[in-house]
Structure 1
Amino acid sequence: MADETGMIGFGSTVRIGRGETPNWTELALVGDIDMPDEQIDEIETTHMKSPGRRKQFISGMTDGGEVSIPMNYIPGSASDLLLQEIKASGEVVLIEITLTADGTPETFAGFLKGYARTAPVGDKMTCEATFRLSEEVTP
């Protein structure tokens, strides 16, 4: 049950689904998750008699945006090999994010736009998978 003062994201998961009947794989060692921020295009409809000499707008298409998944990087791990394969294929996959262990999953569709990996001398290795979202997925 949610505490009225806030919650931490501990226990959150990210799974990748591939295929018509998705075969789901959970990404390992996921860090802080920033959920996608869909943005609505604005279309200007101003005309010569716009009321009050004000610009007018209507809402347009929805841009699903991107979601970046940071992880601890283990070269050759199941997550590493999966992400490298998905990036090379260019395929559209499902990205399921569940915030907290008892949360409701949210599912997005998109392609793997980038897979950045770092290997610093004095810190843990990390990677970040960035998915470009393009389709609405309904439960």
Structure 2
Amino acid sequence: MAETQEASVGWGGEFHFNDGTALYEAVEVVSFTLPNPEHEEVESTHLKSANRYREYIDSLINGGEVQVVLNYRPGSDTDTKLLAWRTSRAIRAMEFHIPESGVASVVIETTGKCNSIDRGEVSADGKMEATVTIRIASADTQEAAA
């Protein structure tokens, strides 16, 4: 994409996850974070390291976690499917659809495991939200939206 676009808001973004059968678009998503892998290193400094600088070698990649915040609607299809995913402990496919001016322009695909669902607070005058935490399990790919 050319460097001509202006800043954009996240309106129109989507989060999809495999519900055990097919990709399912989570309903009433408020926000989500994106995969941000961290390349870890192991120190390999020795008594004759050049210029007395510590040395490092590449190690494993930590995929990190993403969080998806949704309007909490107990018993909804989205709620039921997310609870089943968490219970299954399965690694499943996911997609993040990133918008540009309200239209999906990039799709990020990866896999992950649903580790927790924080159903937040129930109050008389507040919106109920749930925060889903997913551990990333593989490298992500990024493609232009179809």
Same structural fold, with TM-score higher than 0.5 when normalized by the shorter chain: yes
| Equivalent-residue separation in structure 2 for 1:37 and 1:15 (angstroms) | 18
Partner of residue 77, structure 2: 78
- After superposing on structure 2, the runs of 4+ consecutive aligned residues of structure 1 that deviate more than 4 Å are none
Q: Does 1:14 align with 2:15?
A: yes
Which amino acid in 2 is paired with 1:52? N
Partner of residue 139, structure 2: 136
Shift of residue 23 of structure 1? Answer: 0.7
Compared with structure 1, are the counterparts of its residues 9 and 3 closer, same or farther at alpha carbon in structure 2 (3 Å cutoff)? Answer: farther
Q: What stretches of structure 1 of length at least 5 have no aligned partner? A: none
For 1:58-137, list aligned pairs within 5 A.
Answer: 58-100=57-99, 101-118=103-120, 119-136=122-139
| Equivalent-residue separation in structure 2 for 1:18 and 1:81 (angstroms) | 10
Compared with structure 1, are the counterparts of its residues 107 and 37 closer, same or farther at alpha carbon in structure 2 (3 Å cutoff)? Answer: same
| Equivalent-residue separation in structure 2 for 1:3 and 1:67 (angstroms) | 29
Q: What stretches of structure 2 of length at least 5 have no aligned partner? A: none
TM-score normalised over the length of structure 1:
0.89
More strand by share: 2
| SS across alignment from 2:138 | strand
Q: State whether residues 17 and 24 of structure 2, in contact with CA within 8 Å, keep that contact through their aligned partners in structure 1.
A: yes
TM-score normalised over the length of structure 2:
0.85
Seq. identity, %? 26
Q: State whether residues 19 and 81 of structure 2, in contact with CA within 8 Å, keep that contact through their aligned partners in structure 1.
A: no
| Equivalent-residue separation in structure 1 for 2:4 and 2:129 (angstroms) | 31
Report how many residues are paired. Answer: 137
| Equivalent-residue separation in structure 2 for 1:88 and 1:72 (angstroms) | 20
Shift of residue 73 of structure 1? Answer: 0.7
Compared with structure 1, are the counterparts of its residues 18 and 76 closer, same or farther at alpha carbon in structure 2 (3 Å cutoff)? Answer: closer
| SS across alignment from 2:57 | strand
Shift of residue 82 of structure 1? Answer: 0.2
Shift of residue 97 of structure 1? Answer: 0.3
| Equivalent-residue separation in structure 2 for 1:3 and 1:32 (angstroms) | 25
